[in-house]
């Protein structure tokens, strides 16, 4: 396994889950954007060699948002990049539309 293929920031955790043969091509990524944590799992389909992802965002206000790729990707790097951009855009959109908490 080559860890250099997956781009990571210093706070990113990448975990390879190898509990059984089906999970040899799975990677869990935990990161944050604007203090909002998101987790993604990238998976390589053994039959097609295509990568997909799914994940969730845990907003600090208690809301959670689950998401999944609507397409497949040729490489793990491409899938991870797309997943990160999707999560960051969703976080930005949520923070932009959420009114400030005024008491």
DSSP readout, 9-37?
-TT-EEEE--SSGGGTTEEEEEEEETTEE
What is the sign, positive or negative, of the torsion defined by CA atoms of 100, 39, 29, 83? Answer: negative
User: Do residues 81 and 59 touch, judged by C-beta distance below 8 A?
Assistant: no
CA distance 94 to 57: 11
Task: Name the pTM for this structure.
Answer: 0.71
Percentage of the residues of the chain whose pLDDT score is greater than 70: 71
Give φ, ψ of 32 to 5 degrees.
-145, 155
CA distance 97 to 103: 18
pLDDT over 60 at 91, yes or no = yes
Runs of H (alpha helix) within the chain? 76-97
Query: What does the buried/exposed string (b/e) look like for 36-54 if buried means 16 or more CB atoms within 10 Å of the residue's CB?
Result: bebbbbbbbeeeeebbbbe
pLDDT on residue 97: 79
- Residue 14 or residue 25, greater confidence: 25
pLDDT tens per residue across span 32-79: 999 999 999 999 998 999 999 999 999 999 899 999 999 999 999 999
Residue spans per domain, the chain: 9-97
């Amino acid at each position: 396994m080559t860890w250099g293929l997956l781009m990571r920031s210093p706070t990113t955790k990448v975990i390879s889950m190898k509990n059984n043969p089906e999970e040899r091509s799975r990677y869990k990524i935990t990161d944050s954007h604007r203090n909002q944590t998101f987790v993604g799992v990238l998976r390589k389909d053994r039959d097609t060699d295509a990568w997909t992802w799914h994940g969730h965002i845990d907003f600090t206000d208690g809301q959670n948002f689950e998401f999944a790729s609507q397409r497949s990707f040729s490489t793990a790097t491409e899938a991870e990049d797309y997943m990160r951009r999707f999560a960051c855009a969703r976080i930005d959109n949520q923070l932009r539309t959420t009114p400030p908490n005024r008491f």
